[in-house]
């Protein structure tokens, strides 16, 4: 199963993003826009990144009552995006409403259900009243999401192999929490694997930010990661 790379474009301004995107054009296909950039720049940054030739993963983690989330999907559908996230903890009705809106407004958009954030471990789950392991909670939410019609999930790389045994083969698994071998901690990611390990486990996409964003030669690092995961795109 081929695995591809998504750049997490976690930079504060469009001015910071522009030279980085120019240097990466032709080295990778996908760019993820998260809350930091979207709240700072709005829909225009999505259009600009798409105009650079990248496919856009919009990571807003929608989470509200079913009607509100469905209408948010309607509002976002005209943007040039290929993936959009919502929280599976919003429940089956919310996810089904989002799926119905997506099918009507943008059939080729991949809705991704976010399971358990990679910043959370068992202690963090217990703190919000979920007395199970991250693996068990991810599996529960993943089944709920696929029952609601979603065909993509975001999980840590540690749960990919488990989900591959429980979910339909066509479900796309996207994994943040990627760290190179020997890379230290110092951030909020708790459940991590290397790019090669995530690819071998069965991830369809890995999301990488800081190792590329902080590199002196971002394109070189991106191509090295693509080679490591055996992508057909490198």
Catalytic residue annotation: 61
What is the phi-psi region of residue 110: left when phi exceeds 0, alpha when psi lies from -120 to 50, beta otherwise? beta
Contact 231, 4 (CB under 8 A): yes
| Alpha carbon distance 48, 104 (integer Å) | 25
Cα–Cα nearest to 52, from 96, 14, 13? 14
Residues 42/63, Cβ–Cβ less than 8 Å: no
The length of the chain is: 234
The whole-angstrom separation of Cα 192 and Cα 81 is 27
Residue 32 three-state SS: strand
């Amino acid at each position: 199963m081929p695995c591809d790379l998504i750049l997490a474009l976690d930079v504060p301004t469009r001015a910071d993003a522009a030279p980085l995107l120019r240097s990466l054009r032709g080295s990778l296909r996908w760019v993820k826009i998260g809350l930091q950039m979207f709240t700072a720049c709005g829909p225009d940054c999505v259009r600009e990144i798409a105009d650079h030739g990248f496919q856009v993963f919009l990571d807003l983690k929608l989470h509200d009552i079913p009607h509100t989330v469905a209408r948010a999907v309607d509002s976002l559908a005209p943007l040039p995006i290929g993936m959009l996230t919502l929280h599976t903890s919003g429940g089956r009705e919310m996810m089904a409403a989002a799926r119905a809106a997506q099918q009507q407004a943008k059939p080729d958009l991949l809705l991704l259900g976010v399971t358990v954030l990679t910043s959370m471990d068992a202690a963090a789950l217990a703190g919000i009243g979920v007395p199970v392991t991250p693996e068990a909670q991810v599996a529960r939410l993943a089944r709920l999401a696929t029952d609601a019609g979603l065909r993509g999930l975001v999980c840590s790389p540690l749960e990919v192999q488990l989900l591959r045994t429980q979910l339909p083969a066509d479900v796309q698994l996207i994994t943040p929490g990627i760290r190179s071998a020997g890379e230290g901690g110092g951030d909020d990611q708790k459940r991590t694997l290397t790019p090669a390990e995530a690819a071998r486990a069965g991830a369809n996409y890995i999301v990488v930010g800081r190792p590329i964003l902080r590199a002196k030669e971002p394109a070189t690092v991106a191509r090295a990661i693509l080679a490591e995961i055996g992508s057909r795109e490198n």
